[in-house]
């Protein structure tokens, strides 16, 4: 039987794990129940397992019996944390935790990586390299990848991994694998602005220093800055997601604040826009006689697929699943991923897996992070099979010079 056949054969087992994880979502770096479920699912496999110190991560090493000394290991990654939203799907295995849900599909990623571990363990005799399985907490803004990198996940097999692969499900993409060489996802930066004035009564604003109009002006001006100060071919996406001010309609508050996220596809643009954003809000505050504290922080770098590894992943998809399942993306996604930190250290590829439920309209389906996002479980065997095939095929591709020369 092929890897894909075996993946379909264990479909029910992978679905059960996914539904267990889905019903008990956990946030951030501390995921004790998720870690326990992963360890239980891996029990009995010939793995060398360690758990994290700074977070409830799981690192598992599978030794290839056909491995050649000096041939670097391959890393496969799945993230495990949920997002802080209230689930509204009505699924029978819906979240039992108020304000937390697997609305980004990380329960799918974890179940697929466990599935890949089982597929590879069954083929340990033919495995021509060691494999590192990276079960990561804290992807949703908690720097879980950084924590695992600092604890040595890339060297968990005793030598540095030579390639790394991950995937991500999308609730609005049609079934199939989607990827591109170069930038796959944007970098992210945060902007936190607090405007300080002097509170007062709403009937006498001239006796106060109202921070609210200035804050509104800043938010509007930031959108203009993006369209007038940034090259349209090196774009920036700026979204204000938090605005806070006041307690009652007839009270002028002493402070107002907002938070924004910025997405860019190049480091140089992120740095330049950060400088311009600070100058903009400082200038508006000064014009209104107000004080402002503007904090701009770089968060994650762009997720960049190595051209050779991307080509290898694309060939693997075509050969295993058929050419119709491989889709080359014309443009990168404006979302961000901390798997970018792994790909900044070693070559690899990050692949999008369409999980739009059958019969659903991609134009109206709820996107990732929505409390109504639904992912088709039929793709679970596909993701598990791809991860396993990449690990099985990678050393042969490398040894036969099938990977294009890297710049």
Check whether domain 187-300 has CATH 1.20.950.20, yes or no: no
Report whether 219 contacts 240 (CB < 8 A).
Answer: yes
User: Scanning the structure block, which residue is given the tokens 């590192």?
Assistant: 132
Strand extents, DSSP E, 90-161: 131-136
What is the spatial distance between Cα 42 and Cα 304, in angstroms, rounded to a whole number? 30
What is the spatial distance between Cα 156 and Cα 152, in angstroms, rounded to a whole number? 6
* Domains 3-184+303-399 and 187-300 are alike in CATH topology: no
Strand extents, DSSP E, 145-234: 163-170, 176-179, 182-185, 187-196, 200-201
What is the spatial distance between Cα 87 and Cα 130, in angstroms, rounded to a whole number? 39
No. of H helices and E strands in the chain? 10, 16
Report whether 42 contacts 313 (CB < 8 A).
Answer: no
Q: Would you kindly state where each structural domain of the chain is located, as residue ranges?
A: 3-184+303-399, 187-300
pLDDT tens for the chain, residues 1 to 407: 899 988 999 999 999 999 999 999 999 999 999 999 999 999 999 999 999 999 999 999 999 998 788 789 999 999 999 999 999 999 999 999 999 999 999 999 999 999 999 999 999 999 999 999 999 999 998 999 999 999 999 999 999 999 999 999 999 999 999 999 999 999 999 999 999 999 999 999 999 999 999 999 999 999 999 988 888 888 899 999 999 999 999 999 999 999 999 999 988 899 999 999 999 999 999 999 999 999 999 999 999 999 999 999 999 999 999 999 999 998 999 999 999 999 999 999 999 999 999 888 888 999 999 999 999 999 999 999 999 999 999 887 754 445 544 33
CATH topology for the 3-184+303-399 domain: Aminopeptidase (3.40.630)
What is the spatial distance between Cα 391 and Cα 220, in angstroms, rounded to a whole number? 48
The C-alpha R_g of the chain, in whole angstroms, comes to 23
Residues 398/399/401/405 CA torsion (nearest 10 deg): 50
Q: Which of 320, 318, 313, 382 is nearest to 351 (CA)?
A: 313
């Amino acid at each position: 039987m092929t890897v894909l056949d075996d993946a379909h054969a264990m479909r029910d087992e992978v679905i059960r794990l996914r539904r267990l994880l889905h019903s008990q979502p956990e946030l951030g770096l501390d995921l004790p129940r998720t870690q326990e479920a992963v360890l239980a699912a891996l029990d009995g496999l010939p793995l060398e397992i360690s758990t994290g110190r700074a977070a409830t991560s799981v690192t598992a090493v599978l030794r290839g019996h056909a491995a050649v000394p000096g041939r670097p290991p391959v890393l496969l990654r799945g993230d495990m944390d949920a997002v802080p939203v209230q689930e509204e799907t009505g699924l029978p295995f819906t979240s039992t935790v108020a304000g937390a849900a697997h609305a980004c599909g990380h329960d799918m990623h974890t179940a697929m990586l466990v599935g890949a571990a089982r597929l590879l363990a069954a083929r340990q005799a033919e495995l021509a390299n060691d494999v590192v399985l990276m079960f990561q907490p804290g992807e949703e803004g908690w720097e879980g990848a950084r924590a695992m990198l600092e604890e040595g996940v890339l060297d968990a097999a005793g030598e540095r991994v030579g390639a790394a692969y991950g995937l991500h499900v999308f609730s609005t993409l049609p079934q199939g694998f989607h990827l591109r060489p170069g930038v796959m996802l944007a970098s992210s930066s945060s902007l936190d602005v607090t405007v300080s004035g002097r509170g007062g009564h709403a009937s006498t604003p001239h006796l106060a220093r109202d921070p609210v109009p200035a804050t509104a002006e800043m938010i509007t001006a930031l959108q203009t800055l993006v369209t007038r100060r940034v090259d349209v071919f090196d774009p920036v996406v700026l979204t204000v997601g938090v605005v806070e001010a006041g307690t009652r309609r007839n009270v002028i508050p002493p402070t107002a604040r907002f938070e924004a996220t910025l997405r860019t596809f190049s480091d140089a643009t992120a740095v330049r826009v950060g400088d311009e954003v600070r100058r903009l809000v400082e200038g508006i505050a000064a014009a209104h006689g107000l004080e402002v504290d503007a904090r701009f922080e770089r968060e994650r770098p762009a997720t960049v697929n190595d051209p050779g590894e991307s080509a290898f992943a694309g060939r693997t998809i075509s050969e295993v699943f058929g050419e119709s399942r491989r889709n080359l993306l014309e443009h990168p996604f404006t979302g961000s991923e901390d798997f970018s930190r792994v790909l900044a250290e070693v070559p690899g590829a990050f692949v999008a897996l369409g999980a739009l439920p059958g019969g659903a309209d991609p134009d109206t389906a709820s996107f990732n992070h929505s409390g109504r996002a639904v992912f088709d479980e039929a793709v679970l065997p596909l993701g598990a099979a791809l991860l396993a095939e990449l690990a099985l095929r990678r050393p042969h591709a490398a040894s036969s010079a099938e990977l294009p020369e890297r710049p």
